[in-house]
Structure 1
Amino acid sequence: MNAATSSAPLTESAKTESVPEGKPVLAILTIDDDIQLFRGNRHNFADLIETGRELGYLAYVVTVRNLKLGRSRVLGYTYRREREVWVKGYFPKPHVVYNRIPQREDERLPRVRKKLMLISKYPGVKLFNRRFFNKWSLFQWLNKSKATQPYIPETKRLTEPQVLTSMLKRHSLLYLKPIRGKAGVGIMTVKTQPEKHLPYRLQIQNEKRSRTYRCSTLQKLWERIKAQTDALGEPYIAQQGIALASVNDRPFDLRALVQKNETGNWALTGIGARVAGNASITTHVPRGGEIDEPEKLLVSVFGRERAQQVLAQARNAALILARQIERSSKHRLGEMSMDLGVDTTGHVWFFEANSKPMKFDEPHIRRKSLERIFQYSQYLYGRLRQTKEGTVR
């Protein structure tokens, strides 16, 4: 483990860094930690700070506790790659705050919510990506628009057994997902197989493995599902299962990264593909999924001409979906990642969006994603200089 991810205490202080002329100061916001000083993906933070230096920007990590907007200097942390150490010091008050608080539980703390509210209303400072998304809210937002409705699988709140029964009458495969889930933990699939003695197949994915049950009746199926939802302590949604395109009997989906650019508009930073692992419900890489090239996979299923059409549809859908999500959220967003599925006919479906995207492993997407954070920050800084109220998005 190197210092970019280490929790070792800091042993030195950063020298005061000057503010580059005509460029914003970017604060990467996270939450404080009594043992390792701050939480979050330190490798990602270090890459952001280093990219900022290369592009001529000042960026640093700051915790909710230390971000005191009434002061001209802020206690924060920077990374020295040449020595692989994190150092603390005082930095200029930020013009732009990029919310990277890593856990939903942290973001829901009253003191954190209060600080995020304060930042969002503070003159002279622009905050983006204020909070995590809620799966149920996402589908409600996207169902409001005729432009996004075609991409949305049927989705209901899983509040009672009748919801399960009615959806199984229409769909032989359902996905059951925790509303505030992360990394696929707690996802379930229900498949009806009427020809079998035990016609209901339930698969549950937990942190380390997945388990499969077969049930003889809807009542017994519901009891199994209820035990899982109660154990996780999260409300669930039930979603129409989509028969995904697959290669060698392994389904795949697309991961799109959309970010605001230097003009403040949504742009596609990149799109990757993830192939499901054997016996895994999801395509997450930690669960045996593999990274692959979207075009190669689509060509192998649909042929070159149709693959180009499907990929163009996916790229276009990502931007349409991002604009509708931001409008409905009523908060300024700067980036989001999306899980998009392609069914066996080539239709594109929306499954999920994440306002705190994980690092993309594809090098060309990764580099561009880091640069776009500063391009959008520069745009926000320009708007700040045009209006003292900071009311323009």
Structure 2
Amino acid sequence: MPLITIVPIKIAIKTDFFVQMSSQLFKQLQFKTDEIKISIGKKLVKVKIRTVEMTPNEIHFPENLFQLFCLPSQRYKLHAIYKEEMNSLFLGPIIGLVTDFKHKKNEEPYFRSIHNFCEELHQGLTENGGFLYVFSYQDFSDKGYFFESGNWKSATLPLPNVIYNRIHSRRIEFGKEYHLFRSRLTELNIPIFNDRFLSKWEVHEHLIHENHLHSYIPDTNLFTKDNLAVFAEKYETVFIKPVHGSQGRNIFKLKKENSHFVLESSIRKQSEKEEINLSFEEIYPFIKPLLNNRIYIIQQGIPLLTYQDRGMDYRVLCHKNPQDNWVVTSVVARISAEDEFVSNIARGGEIMTPLNALKDSMSISDAKWLIAQMKELAIETALIIERKSSGITGELGIDIGIDQVGKPWLIEVNSKPSKNFEDGQMKIRPSAKAIIQFCTKLASDSTSEMEDS
């Protein structure tokens, strides 16, 4: 796909629909006629082509065409695909990132934990070809925000070729308004990927039926009185986690100590932490009211390798590449904050390169072999989750723990992994590049059904 820069020009007659390009570009794109259709986003417009002496990789657009395509009048670097059977030139991709955020009328929007990542995606697309805007699902097709001169500006923008889902809240995804938005996307034939949050029980059910993964999955069941009794009897440590939880919130850790059990919680702040001592009979009646009628799972606690007596696990980021294969884009060790039993960055954890985190526990060569093993396990997990989940999956954050004998364990799978950390020091990180490539592929795949104008 050649990269083309479209450039706005002023014209006297506003009703003329034409574009200007060099004769070299006309030949390169293999046009058979000087009258074609151009598509940006989901709109197709008939135009005349005027060949003039000019820069070979540019197309000049009159400002009335920018208005018709709902594009702010500025220069864009876009990928170009000419489909001879449709006599249509597709320029893009136009990528919409859907999220939820509050915005006051005369203030710039703030996209919460992904704000900087949105800027990074914009930068990556500006360099590599494409246009990104961010929108709220309630404002779909009416208003979006594009980045210009250091600010996010509001405008009516083109329907996107593809949508990347970064809704922050499970509650919103379960709601009626969001379901109406999803129905509109189906009608418009706009693909959306990372369709929704995955529940911990759903992930467990997807993976546990794969025999070759059994030994990597901690014993897990739904929270009931009987299941809790079995787990408390069987294991030294048990974790109780919300099925729809994230960022290490609302997790309980139950540890056997001599004749009693110690209960810790990630709910309170560090300054308010306290350990509760319970007898076997007291466990269920004490914990049950704390769950607020939410669905929880119980999970076997694995004695994992620590780093300087702090909890440690590994986040392996996996992305789908343009060839439809899963690849690992980054691996980081997550070290828990002192007095925390969860390693999430949102709860004060810190990150480290996996090699540095492992080298105190084993030789460099063993650590490298273990990192390669973690990557293989993550890729296999991603393949299974994608195969068994509805919708399009393009990105997964897979959390892996390493036990005292150096064996990896699958702890969790996240369909909307945090964007606040990675081991890359580059401005456009590997995960942003991977998202851009996947969006470009999905946009290219979905150019068959278009709206004529």
Q: Normalising by the residue count of structure 2, what TM-score does the alignment of the two structures yield? A: 0.75
Task: Quote the offset at 1:216 in angstroms.
Answer: 4.2
Task: Say whether residues 1:45 and 2:128 are aligned partners.
Answer: no
The amino acid that maps onto 2:139 is N
Task: Say whether residues 1:20 and 2:85 are aligned partners.
Answer: no
Matches of 1:19 and 1:60, distance apart in 2: 15
> Quick one: structure 1 residues 144 and 286, their matched pair in 2 at CA, closer, same or farther if it must change by over 3 Å?
same
Matches of 1:79 and 1:14, distance apart in 2: 12
The one of 212, 227, 252 aligned to 2:312 = 252
Matches of 1:149 and 1:120, distance apart in 2: 36
Task: Quote the offset at 1:15 in angstroms.
Answer: 2.6
The alignment partner of 1:358 has SS state of coil
Matches of 1:204 and 1:382, distance apart in 2: 47
Task: Say whether residues 1:65 and 2:138 are aligned partners.
Answer: yes
The amino acid that maps onto 1:384 is S
Give CA-to-partner distance per residue, 1:196-218, whole Å, 9 cap, x none.
5xx11100111523634343422
Matches of 1:202 and 1:157, distance apart in 2: 18
The amino acid that maps onto 1:49 is H
Kept after mapping to 2: 8 A contact 1:29/1:97: yes
Give CA-to-partner distance per residue, 1:14-51, whole Å, 9 cap, x none.
83456824232111112364647675432222221122
Residue 238 of structure 1: aligned partner:
298
Root-mean-square deviation over aligned CA pairs: 2.3
Choose 212-221 or 247-256, whichever is displaced more.
212-221
Residue 242 of structure 2: aligned partner:
178
The amino acid that maps onto 1:28 is L
> How many pairs are equivalent?
362
Give CA-to-partner distance per residue, 1:121-172, whole Å, 9 cap, x none.
532x22101101111111111112123322210100002x211111122211
Q: Which runs of 5 or more residues in structure 2 are unaligned?
A: 1-69, 81-91
Matches of 2:127 and 2:235, distance apart in 1: 52
> Quick one: structure 1 residues 295 and 34, their matched pair in 2 at CA, closer, same or farther if it must change by over 3 Å?
closer
> Quick one: structure 1 residues 320 and 129, their matched pair in 2 at CA, closer, same or farther if it must change by over 3 Å?
same
The amino acid that maps onto 2:407 is H
Residue 264 of structure 2: aligned partner:
203
- Equivalent positions of 1:83-162 (< 5 A) are 84-120=150-186, 122-123=188-189, 125-159=190-224, 161-162=225-226
The amino acid that maps onto 1:158 is F
Residue 326 of structure 2: aligned partner:
266
The amino acid that maps onto 1:141 is H
Give CA-to-partner distance per residue, 1:309-368, whole Å, 9 cap, x none.
211110001111011111111221110112110101111111112111111243348611
Task: Say whether residues 1:363 and 2:420 are aligned partners.
Answer: no
Kept after mapping to 2: 8 A contact 1:26/1:59: yes
Matches of 1:264 and 1:250, distance apart in 2: 38
The amino acid that maps onto 1:75 is K
Matches of 2:161 and 2:300, distance apart in 1: 43
Matches of 2:131 and 2:193, distance apart in 1: 17
* Bigger Cα Rg: 2
Task: Quote the offset at 1:381 in angstroms.
Answer: 2.4
Give CA-to-partner distance per residue, 1:261-308, whole Å, 9 cap, x none.
121221100100011222211012343322111012222212122212
The alignment partner of 1:302 has SS state of coil
Residue 280 of structure 1: aligned partner:
340
Residue 7 of structure 1: aligned partner:
none
Choose 181-190 or 16-25, whichever is displaced more.
16-25
The alignment partner of 2:72 has SS state of coil
Kept after mapping to 1: 8 A contact 2:263/2:278: no
Matches of 1:75 and 1:284, distance apart in 2: 34
Choose 31-40 or 103-112, whichever is displaced more.
31-40
Task: Say whether residues 1:380 and 2:438 are aligned partners.
Answer: no
Matches of 1:149 and 1:118, distance apart in 2: 40
Matches of 1:64 and 1:16, distance apart in 2: 25
The alignment partner of 1:234 has SS state of coil
Kept after mapping to 2: 8 A contact 1:14/1:78: no
Give CA-to-partner distance per residue, 1:79-108, whole Å, 9 cap, x none.
23x4x3221123222111111111112222
> Quick one: structure 1 residues 32 and 304, their matched pair in 2 at CA, closer, same or farther if it must change by over 3 Å?
closer
Task: Say whether residues 1:56 and 2:105 are aligned partners.
Answer: no
The alignment partner of 1:46 has SS state of helix
Matches of 2:208 and 2:176, distance apart in 1: 31
Kept after mapping to 2: 8 A contact 1:16/1:90: no
Choose 112-121 or 51-60, whichever is displaced more.
112-121
The alignment partner of 1:381 has SS state of helix
Q: Which runs of 5 or more residues in structure 1 are unaligned?
A: 1-12, 69-73
The alignment partner of 2:192 has SS state of strand
Kept after mapping to 2: 8 A contact 1:215/1:221: no
Matches of 1:99 and 1:285, distance apart in 2: 21
Kept after mapping to 2: 8 A contact 1:31/1:39: yes
Residue 8 of structure 1: aligned partner:
none
Residue 319 of structure 1: aligned partner:
379
Residue 41 of structure 2: aligned partner:
none
User: What stretches of structure 1 move > 6 A for 4+ residues in a row?
Assistant: none
Q: Normalising by the residue count of structure 1, what TM-score does the alignment of the two structures yield? A: 0.85
